[in-house]
Amino acid sequence: MSHKMESSADSKTIRIGILENDDFFLEELKNRISELDNVSEILSWKTGEMLLRDPQHKNIDILFLDIMLPGINGIEVVKILSEKNENIKVIMLTNMNSDEMIFNSIKNGALGYLLKSELGQIKNIVDVLLGGGAYITPTIALRVFSSFRRSIDKPKVYLTDREKQILELLVKGKTIPLLSKFLDLSEHTVQGYVKSIYRKLQVHNRSELALKVQEYSIL
């Protein structure tokens, strides 16, 4: 009997941290995590600065980390933790599904990305991370694959520094006369650069130009 009780106690070996400044969501997440059998302790912080100053954060196994935080945001926090080589598995939390945020989080060391509306996956997330894997929900996976496909199709565009400067100004709505004055170039010269940009990007007007620049993150 005593051996069985000791085994049960030993199974509670996981320490989980939560960095979240929304009190309501923090309590909901704590309640979900507390239902897991293998969690021995749940620690929480409201800001990145609080977490990084607290030496206890170094002892957690998994960190659920909100992206949108006051002060140091979640993407910066995961980067700092990664640079310190701290052995913490990080899952990003957000209400947003921005492609840029997803990839910056992963690039900085996060092992997963969870929308706050999909907390039913908590047990699966913990199991996957403890098993050495990474986790993204189907909603986020779709965004990743869509962005990946766009990156494969991204045109190889080689613009000169001057063309990049003019392209940036064109996207901001500058006309050729304004570009001419701003860059101290003749309108004929500016028109030559614009034609070259259109040809390289294979567009025919400003609308197509703006769309392609945004879709393929050319600037």
Helix or strand (DSSP H, E) at 63: strand 62-66
Find all residues with CB under 8 Å of 30, minimum gap 6, and list them: 18, 42, 44
Contact 47, 72 (CB under 8 A): yes
**What's the chain's Rg over C-alpha atoms?**
24
Q: What was the pLDDT predicted at 162? A: 93
Could you list the pLDDT tens digit for every one of the 219 residues in the chain?
Answer: 333 333 333 445 899 999 999 999 999 999 999 999 899 999 999 999 999 999 999 999 999 999 989 899 999 999 999 888 778 999 999 887 677 788 888 888 899 888 888 888 899 899 999 888 888 877 777 777 766 666 655 667 788 999 999 999 998 888 999 999 999 999 999 999 999 999 988 888 888 888 778 766 676
Please give the C-alpha separations between residue 151 and each of 148, 162, 167, 183, 198, in angstroms, as whole numbers: 5, 25, 20, 32, 20
Prediction pTM value:
0.63
